[in-house]
Chain A
Amino acid sequence: MTARAESFRTRNSVPFLRQAAAIAAKDLRIEIRGRHALGTLLPFAATLLVSFGFAFGPGRDVLERTAPGLLWMAMLFAAVMAARRSYQAETEDDALEGLLLAPVDKAAVFLGKAIAVALELLVLVIAVLLMVVVLFDLSPGNPFALLGAFALGTVGLAAVGGLFGVVAEAERTREAVFPMLVLPLVTPVLIAGVRATDLATTGQAGEAAQWLGLLLAFDIVFVSVGILVFGHLMED
C-alpha cells in the first residue's frame, strides 16, 4: 500500500493526476476524430429506444412510466460499448504494449480511460434524455437532480467499464464475457439511476437525494478499488 502511494508521487516527474488527464485527453482526441460516440453510440441508443417503443408500446402510459428505466438500459449498453471501444483503440495498433512500457502509473491509465469514457457517456446521456422526452413523453423535471444522477451514474459505469475493458480484448474472449462481467456489477447504478431519474421527472426531486448518495458511494468505492487493482490487470 505504501509502495503504491509512493509510486503516485515519485514514479516519475509527472504527477499522477496529470498523467491521468493526459491519457484522458489522448482518448478523447481519438474519440473526437473517430466520432464513435456520435457515429455509433447515438444511433445505437436511438435504435434501442425505438425498439423499446415497439416492444412495450403503443400505449403511451406504459412507455411514460418505464421511460427512466429505458434510458438507463440504453446507457448501460452504451457504456459497455464505449469501454470496449476505449481498449480496442489500443490493441488495434498494439498500443497497449506501448502503454505498458511507458513510464506511466498503471492506475493513471485506468483513471484517464474512465474519465474519457465518462465524458463520452455524459454527452450521450443528454442526447438520450432528449430522445426519451420526445419518444416517451417524459417530462424533463428538475435539471439539478437529473444532472446529478447522470454525472454520478456515468462515472460509475465508466469506472467499472474502464476497469475491466482490458478483459474485453483478451486472447480468446468470447463476445459475451465482458458485458456478462460488467452488467451485474453496475446493478446499483441501474437501480439508483432509474429511481433518481424517476423522482426528478415526477416532481419529487427532494427524495432523489438518497439515491444520489448511493451513486456517489458506488463511484467512490469503484474508483478507489479500480486505482488499487488495475495494475494487476495490465501486467504481462
Chain B
Amino acid sequence: MAKRSLEPVLWLLFSAGGVASALFVPILVLLFGLAFPLGWLSPPSYERIHGVMTHPLTRLVLFGVFTLSLIHGAHRFRFTLYDGLQIKHLNELINLFCYGGAIALSVWAGYLLWRVA
C-alpha cells in the first residue's frame, strides 16, 4: 500500500485555520489590543466577560478558532522558513518546532478552556 502523505490534511487544516483566523481575529485584536487599552471603548465588566467565556458554546468555538489558527500559523511559518530563508536542510527540526509548538499551545488552550470557571 502506498504511504499516504500527511500533506493534504495539513493543507486542509491550514485553509480552515485561515478562514477561522480571518473571521474572528481582526475584531478581537481591535477590541482587546487597541480599543480597550486606548480607552476608545470601555472593556466589558468582569461579570459580562466571565459569563460569555464560561458558556460551553463560546469555549468550543474559541478552542476551534485557537487550534486551527495555531496550525495555520505553524504551517505558514514552516514555509516562511523554507522559502524565505532557504534553510531546507533543517526541515525536520523546523517541522518539529512549528507543529510541536502549535500542538503544545493547543493543549494549553484546551486545558484553560476546559477548566475555566
Are A and B part of the same complex?
no
Q: Which residues of A contact B (CB under 8 A)?
A: none
Q: Which residues of B contact A (CB under 8 A)?
A: none
